[in-house]
Amino acid sequence: RGILAIYHNPPRFLISMFVHEVEARKDAHSNLLSKSETSDLYKIQFHNVKPDCLEAYNNLEAEVQSKLHLDQDYPCDVVGSWNTWYGDQDQAVHLWRYTGGYPALTECLTKLNNNKEYLQFRKERSKMLVSRRNQLLLEFSFWNEPTPRNGPNIYEMRSYKLKPGTMIEWGNHWARAIKHRQENDEAIGGFFTQIGDLYEVHHLWAYKDLQSREETRNSAWQKEGWDSSVYYTVPLIRSMESRIMIPTKSSPLQ
């Protein structure tokens, strides 16, 4: 009977021995991890294109992107556009930035829905697509700001689906780890989802070719601290994916 009493009402010292008490967080992880000095919001689009339509799709997308990118009336710009080389075939990936956050996104959508030329573009584009999806993202505070660059380059997007509740821990480790991956100017940007598949992270890297990618990644292991960063972040991951991408002709990231 005494054992049962302890089982149902365990002493405080026993609880502290076996239960890990977590301090309550005082803010959303989006506020803790993103850049506080900017209010930029990013959108990433994944378009799976009919194989025989990819060239026509790229030409149509480039025409519309150029108009939106240069039009001061739209508070958005295209960061980069790519076709997947290794990964999902016949796929286009677009990364947009909305300067001003959610209000800028809403303003753009409202204007586009009243733009007859854009509505016609969407109608034509829909004939070329198999499927499409998107996500809204924020940028990690410790990553580089993505800026246009000259080519030729190949780009790798490494996408990580994390265990729920681990985003802060991921950010803390990568805030230290990123310094090991910047010497060759390969780090483009790091983002985490706000809407779409949650607890997903995208890291974007640039390399001259696949061989330089191999050499750059291998060299990171020679730097003190990189191995421990990998050791502590791997258990946070549920799944991960790598896609190698080629920039389209109109992409600011070449």
**pLDDT at site 19:** 41
Mean pLDDT, residues 209-219 taken together: 95
Specify which residues 44 forms β-bridges with: 95, 135
**pLDDT at site 31:** 64
Residue 5 has pLDDT above 60, yes or no: no
Helices vs. strands in the chain: H and E counts, helices first: 9, 8
Mean pLDDT of the chain: 88
**pLDDT at site 33:** 82
Mean pLDDT, residues 10-39 taken together: 55
Question: pLDDT per residue over 155-207, tens digit each?
Answer: 999 999 999 999 999 999 999 999 888 888 999 999 999 999 999 999 999 99
- Decide: 157 and 93 in contact? Cβ < 8 Å: yes
Least confident of 23-32, 42-51, 160-169, 170-179: 23-32
CA pair distance 246, 155, nearest whole angstrom: 6
- Decide: 43 and 137 in contact? Cβ < 8 Å: yes
* 106's tokens: 């809403």
- Decide: 203 and 190 in contact? Cβ < 8 Å: yes
The contacts found for 111-120 with CB under 8 angstroms, 24 or more apart, are: 111/73, 111/74, 112/74, 118/64
Question: pLDDT per residue over 72-100, tens digit each?
Answer: 889 999 999 999 999 999 999 999 999 99
pLDDT classification of 6: cutoffs 50, 70, 90:
very low
* 124's tokens: 């034509």
Residue 87 neighbours by CB distance under 10 Å? 15
* 199's tokens: 């607890």
HSE value, Cβ hemisphere, 13 Å, CA-based, for 12: 0
| Domains in the chain: ranges and CATH | 41-247 (3.30.70.100)
Task: Give the residue, 181 or 136, on which the prediction is more confident.
Answer: 136
